[in-house]
């Protein structure tokens, strides 16, 4: 009877053997920061916190068991969409070319569950070496395992960080990727450098985009109560307004960073948001995670220096934006109500600078107007999805068949704002500030035209920006603003 070898299962973390012998020197490829323009630990942690922020309090307990245990606990609770992650096509092409003649190994400090999912998606690796809940495969641990498996100078290694110098010292050749020239020079001192692929996209422009400085235009709303009370020319009030503008802008940027970090997976499925710096891998996640709290502290220090009451208004704004980022943006209609509330909070903060209660008329007007603009933003997003043949938003609760309802509610709310303006003009409140309040009636057709035009532009699929940013950059909107200012001056 012929004898057959009994098949044995491959060791854990090892993919099936290739169908033919590979005689070349094995190539070990690092994952985080090298093959992937991101970090799986941060990706998984942020995805977990986005779904359940309260698990943050368990992180210290998991970390006490070791970093590998922390990674494993997080990896067990998330499923990342590997297809949407920002892979470095240069490194992937290098691995594919090498796979024809030699063993290609994914060697990473990420948890084995996520690493194996990445390898299965890419389909290029012969084996996976990763952290397993007990051993954290980074630095010396990665070096020791590779030397044990392939021998001294028996492998080539692709890496991107200073800690990889420990591995390169025992490798045959180094391939330095997504790293500055200084690291390539340091690697050349301990190993033969085969190639250096510098990082792409990490420019000051990427940071300006991540901080959303153009969104600071929304904070001009702080000056509305000052204008309405005719006190903008007072130097002390004006200076407080400028500092308040900066405090709200810095705070908004910190929240934008946090929101982008928590929204990575849904942003990567959006036609335009996938190009955001963190979603695309142009900026490191760890830098955004560090900068966000620093900016938050700076904003509150500046706000408290203006006045404790103004810092309180900023605190309410910050808390509401956090609630929006973690939960409320996923709730249908609640999200647009919160967005309208955030705009109105800026006006309330402007009233705090005056040391006066905000005007009833101003608050009513802003609530209706900004609810219309929030609806307009959602309408424009749904219209894009309709053009792509999709049925619902990613990370939101809206469906494409909600378009008519969103449009009706948004236009109705905008026209209600015009009604509030008309009632204000006809009230005794306008007579206290204007000698000729009847002239203010000209504001009504101007506002009716602007709201109708904005919705017409959105209906035609041409609304590409946030409506407030659109209003600040659109030529017709600028002319309407100038005409409105002239009307207000004529009414004085």
pLDDT tens for 325-347 read 888 888 889 999 999 999 999 99
pLDDT tens for 122-137 read 999 999 999 999 999 9
Residues 57 and 182 in one domain: yes
Residues 177 and 105 in one domain: yes
Strands 156-159 vs 24-29: parallel, antiparallel or unpaired: parallel
Residues 144 and 230 in one domain: no
Cβ-contact 43, 80 below 8 angstroms: yes
Domain that holds residue 78: 24-197
Report d(CA 125, CA 30) in Å as an integer.
12
Residues 186 and 282 in one domain: no
- Residue 418 belongs to a domain: yes
More confident position, 70 or 463: 70
**Which residue in 270, 244, 272, 248 sits closest to 320, CA to CA?**
248
Banded pLDDT at 150 (limits 50, 70, 90)? very high
pLDDT tens for 208-230 read 899 998 889 889 889 988 888 88
Domain of residue 56, CATH code = 3.40.50.1000
Banded pLDDT at 395 (limits 50, 70, 90)? low
| Per-residue confidence (pLDDT) for residue 411, from 0 to 100 | 95
Of 172, 197, 222, which residue constitutes the final position of a domain? 197
- Residue 144 belongs to a domain: yes
- For the chain, the average pLDDT equals 88
Residues 66 and 144 in one domain: yes
CB under 8 Å, gap of 24 or more: what pairs does 464-467 form?
464/380, 466/215, 466/218, 466/377, 467/373, 467/376, 467/377
Banded pLDDT at 88 (limits 50, 70, 90)? very high
pLDDT tens for 189-204 read 999 999 999 987 667 7
Residues 247 and 121 in one domain: no
Residues 191 and 212 in one domain: no
Residues 152 and 45 in one domain: yes
Residue 317 has pLDDT above 90, yes or no: yes
Residues 222 and 338 in one domain: yes
- Residue 17 belongs to a domain: no
Residues 208 and 187 in one domain: no
Number of domains within the chain: 2
156: which strand partners?
A: 27, 173
- Residue 6 belongs to a domain: no
**Which residue in 242, 264, 237, 255 sits closest to 293, CA to CA?**
255
Residue 418 has pLDDT above 60, yes or no: yes
Residues 100 and 237 in one domain: no
Cβ-contact 207, 216 below 8 angstroms: no
Residues 431 and 304 in one domain: yes
């Amino acid at each position: 009877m012929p004898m057959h070898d009994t098949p044995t299962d491959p060791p854990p973390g090892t993919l099936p053997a290739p169908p033919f012998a590979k005689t070349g020197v094995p190539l070990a490829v690092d994952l985080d920061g090298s093959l992937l323009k991101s970090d799986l630990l941060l990706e998984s942690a942020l995805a977990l916190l986005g779904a359940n922020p309260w698990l943050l309090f368990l992180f210290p307990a998991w970390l006490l068991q070791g970093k590998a245990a922390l990674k494993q606990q997080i990896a067990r609770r998330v499923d990342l969409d590997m297809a949407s992650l920002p892979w470095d096509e240069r490194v992937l092409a290098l691995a594919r070319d090498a796979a024809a003649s030699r063993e290609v190994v994914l060697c990473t400090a990420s948890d084995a569950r996520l690493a194996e999912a990445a390898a299965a998606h890419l389909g290029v690796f012969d084996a996976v070496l990763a952290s397993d809940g007990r051993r954290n495969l980074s630095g010396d641990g990665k070096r020791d395992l590779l030397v044990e498996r392939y021998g001294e100078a028996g492998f080539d290694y692709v890496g991107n960080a200073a800690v990889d110098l420990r591995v390169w010292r025992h490798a045959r050749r180094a391939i330095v990727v997504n790293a500055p020239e200084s690291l390539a020079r340091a690697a050349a001192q301990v190993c033969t450098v085969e190639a250096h692929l510098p990082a792409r996209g990490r420019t000051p422009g990427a940071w300006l985009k991540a901080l959303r400085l153009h969104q600071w235009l929304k904070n001009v709303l702080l000056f509305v109560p000052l204008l309405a009370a005719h006190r903008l020319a007072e130097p002390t009030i004006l200076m407080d307004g400028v500092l308040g503008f900066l405090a709200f802008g810095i705070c908004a940027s910190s929240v934008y960073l946090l929101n982008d970090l928590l929204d990575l997976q849904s942003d990567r499925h959006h036609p335009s948001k996938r190009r955001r710096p963190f979603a695309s891998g142009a900026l490191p996640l760890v830098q955004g995670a560090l900068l966000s709290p620093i900016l938050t502290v700076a904003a509150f220090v500046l706000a408290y220096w203006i006045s404790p009451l103004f810092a309180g208004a900023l605190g309410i704004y910050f808390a509401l934006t956090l609630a929006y980022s973690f939960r409320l943006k996923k709730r249908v209609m609640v999200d647009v109500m919160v967005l309208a509330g955030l705009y109105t909070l800026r006006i309330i903060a402007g009233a705090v600078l005056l040391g006066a209660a905000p005007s009833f008329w101003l608050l009513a007007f802003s609530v209706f107007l900004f609810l219309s603009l929030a609806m307009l933003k959602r309408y424009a997003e749904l219209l894009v999805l309709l053009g792509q043949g999709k049925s619902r938003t990613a990370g939101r609760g809206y469906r494409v068949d909600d378009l008519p309802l969103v449009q009706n509610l948004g236009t109705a709310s905008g026209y209600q704002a015009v009604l509030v303006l008309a009632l204000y003009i006809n009230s005794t409140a306008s007579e206290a500030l204007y000698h000729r309040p009847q002239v203010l009636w000209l504001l009504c057709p101007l506002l009716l035209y602007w709201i109708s035009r904005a919705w017409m532009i959105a209906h035609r699929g041409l609304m590409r920006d946030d409506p407030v940013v659109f209003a600040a950059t659109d030529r017709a909107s600028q002319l309407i603003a100038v005409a409105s200012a002239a009307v207000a001056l004529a009414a004085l």
